[in-house]
Structure 1
């Protein structure tokens, strides 16, 4: 009878797998070569250590201020840690690079190339965050913005039943056929969140082409609930692999082997989420076009929070715009790089170089977190800041609540980002969409039930304190 001690003597790592393996071995009386052949099929994969030294990465960024230098230093430290992940073969950071989590996490504006591995933490929860551009010709930009405001949806949750867009049957079938997507919850999200834009830095922008004078609409948002649900599942699967084959790897950098069954299903799920997200943009644009009775002159899109494949290499672009046509099977135009609500959206083209790995920046990025930016503006009211920073444009917040963390000063200097795009030969700017106006979610959480409850609780506490103070101040009888 073969025992656990016998397996240990063969140099095999102890684990839960022993029980099932021993039952099979003793039931079938395996011995000698037959025993070894069986063990080769069930024993755990060998532990994969971190790389002895970080893989070098390209730095397409420079600092002009102390604040930006501190930001870049943190980004570089994160990349140094991340680039020791065993699957990594190349990397780069863009001029919009900024931290997206603790040290060792892929930064915004980061590209990390891995071999035979998909890292869910490197595309983040906002899978396939992307931009779609529709050229509407010589249409009045105010009418476009007014119409879009009636039709779009920002904030949490999905659309009410009477305002939902139809989920295409092809996309629904792909959800149902994929184990990562076929839950009741994911399908519910896929139907209800179609035609929604979320919050944060997502926007609907209307502007004028510098080259043609045409009115252009651009939307920026990702995969909403369906993408977030896929990310959560992907991280769980990746964590199981991490614990089994590379426990030294940071949890944020766990991966799913691309050739495993889970890897194949996850890759297919990413492509379905890509289709859903593109449709999420299209239904909004088509609704605006239909209501205006306009004619579409041109339309194109690109994502910037995604994983792109080239053979056995997986390019994880966390906030980086793909340039190389091999990454975009449905490419129909140049690429889109927004900066901030008061600055032009850049229209660029380019090719793969040694330092850009086939990517350009995705925007302007931040030097300060949202919270730190808000603290930096103490002494000025939201209304004063809004009036100062949106002068000359029709800037709107969907919930009529100003979010100062999305005003232009919250982002890096747009002109400097443009200069660095040119100086690092990251892309060529071929047009600019000059701003007329935009819509963003705004500070919807100001009216969120949880915040109201918290404020009410705090008000009650202060009232009780005041009451006690009043009582203590009364003269004794």
Structure 2
């Protein structure tokens, strides 16, 4: 009578399949070669340990201040740990790099290439965060921004039924056919979140193209709730594989083998979410052009938070702009879009694949300090004072009429320094720029959220004189 110890001796790892294997083998009296043949499909590959020494990675970043030096050191510590993951074959950091979690987590501005492995944690929940540009011709920028503000949607949740855009039936069917995307909640979000931009650093920017003088619209957002649900499902499956294949690997760096059924389904789901996200930009651009009575031209887009494939190597870009043509097979334009901050021009770049850049350029200006740290540095000034100082000469608006100082220009790295390092490290060539008229962002929508109001009420009750002593801005 076979036991679990016999199966372990045959090279199997204990698991939920053991009772089934034992029952079958004992019922059929399997032994010798017959038993070896039967258990062979159940053998797990040898566990993959972390590398004892990290692979080298390309540091396309140089500190220009003491604060930035700390930032660079944190980024490099994370990358060094990340380059020990057994699937990794190459890595790079861009001039806009900044930490995005505990040591070992891929930083913003990081690129990590892996062989035959898709790491959901390396693209994060904001799958296919991207930018799209449309030329609107000789339009009044103020009128364009006014119309866009009335049309778009920032903040949590989706559009009410009367303001929703049509979700193409074939796209809905594509989602329903994929087990990673086929959920009632996911399909509902695909409809309700279409034509929405979320919050944080997402924006709607109106400016003037330097080369033509035309008014240009640029939007920045990702896949909203659709992508967030896919990320959650992907991390769950990746964790199962991590426990089977590489328990030493940190959960944040778990992967789905690309050649597994789950890997094929997840890769297909990523492409569907990419298609949805592109449509998410397009419906806003098309609706605005129609409202203005113009035809949008010279439109192009690129994601900067995604996974790109070259054979069996998967390039995970956590805030990096893809330059290589094979990363964007549907692109009709070689130009890519790199925003910096609301008061700076958006860069239009082209570039080549080099050993240093792995086929990528920066995606923006990045941060040296977290949002909370930056706000703490602004103590002593009101939000209105900071806003007036930092937005002179531009029409900067917040959808919820609440200033978010963590999205004002000083919250980001020096834009001119990032541009210099793009040239210094040969990452891309600036071929044009969109000079700012103004932009729209979500703003501090959480200020008026029920949980924030409740907290303020509790704090106010502790002040002498009660709520009358509590002043909000």
- TM-score class, shorter-chain normalisation, is over 0.9
User: What does 1:228-377 align with in structure 2 at a 5 Å threshold?
Assistant: 228-333=228-333, 334-377=335-378
User: What does 1:45-84 align with in structure 2 at a 5 Å threshold?
Assistant: 45-84=45-84
Distance 2:308 2:30 in 1: 45
In structure 1, the residue matched to 2:118 is 118
Structure 2 CA distance for partners of 1:464 and 1:436, relative to 1, 3 Å:
closer
Structure 2 CA distance for partners of 1:294 and 1:18, relative to 1, 3 Å:
same
In structure 1, the residue matched to 2:193 is 193
Distance 2:239 2:372 in 1: 30
Distance 1:460 1:17 in 2: 58
In structure 1, the residue matched to 2:470 is none
Q: Deviations over 1:163-186 (max 9, x none)?
A: 000001121011110000010010
Q: Would you say the 8 A contact 1:299–1:332 is kept in 2?
A: no
In structure 1, the residue matched to 2:26 is 26
Q: Which runs of 5+ in 2 are unaligned?
A: 468-473
Distance 2:338 2:326 in 1: 19
In structure 1, the residue matched to 2:165 is 165
| 2:217 corresponds to 1:217 | yes
**Helix, strand or coil for the counterpart of 2:95?**
strand
Q: Deviations over 1:144-201 (max 9, x none)?
A: 1000000000000000010000001121011110000010010011000000000000
In structure 2, the residue matched to 1:451 is 452
Distance 1:33 1:233 in 2: 40
Distance 1:220 1:129 in 2: 7
In structure 1, the residue matched to 2:442 is 441
Distance 1:86 1:262 in 2: 20
Deviation larger for 449-458 or 237-246: 449-458
**Helix, strand or coil for the counterpart of 2:366?**
coil
| 2:431 corresponds to 1:430 | yes
Structure 2 CA distance for partners of 1:158 and 1:391, relative to 1, 3 Å:
same
Bigger Rg, structure 1 or 2: 1
In structure 2, the residue matched to 1:175 is 175
**Helix, strand or coil for the counterpart of 2:188?**
helix
In structure 2, the residue matched to 1:469 is none
Distance 1:126 1:11 in 2: 40
Q: Would you say the 8 A contact 2:304–2:321 is kept in 1?
A: yes
Q: Which runs of 5+ in 1 are unaligned?
A: 467-477
In structure 2, the residue matched to 1:395 is 396
Deviation at 1:265, TM superposition (A): 0.3
Q: Would you say the 8 A contact 2:11–2:43 is kept in 1?
A: no
TM-score with structure 2 setting the length = 0.97
Deviation at 1:233, TM superposition (A): 0.3
Deviation larger for 113-122 or 39-48: 39-48
Q: CA RMSD in A?
A: 1.2
Deviation at 1:30, TM superposition (A): 1.5
Distance 1:185 1:206 in 2: 33
**Helix, strand or coil for the counterpart of 1:304?**
strand
In structure 2, the residue matched to 1:132 is 132
Distance 1:415 1:9 in 2: 63
Deviation larger for 398-407 or 455-464: 455-464
* Equivalent residues, number: 466
User: What does 1:404-419 align with in structure 2 at a 5 Å threshold?
Assistant: 404-419=405-420
In structure 1, the residue matched to 2:6 is 6
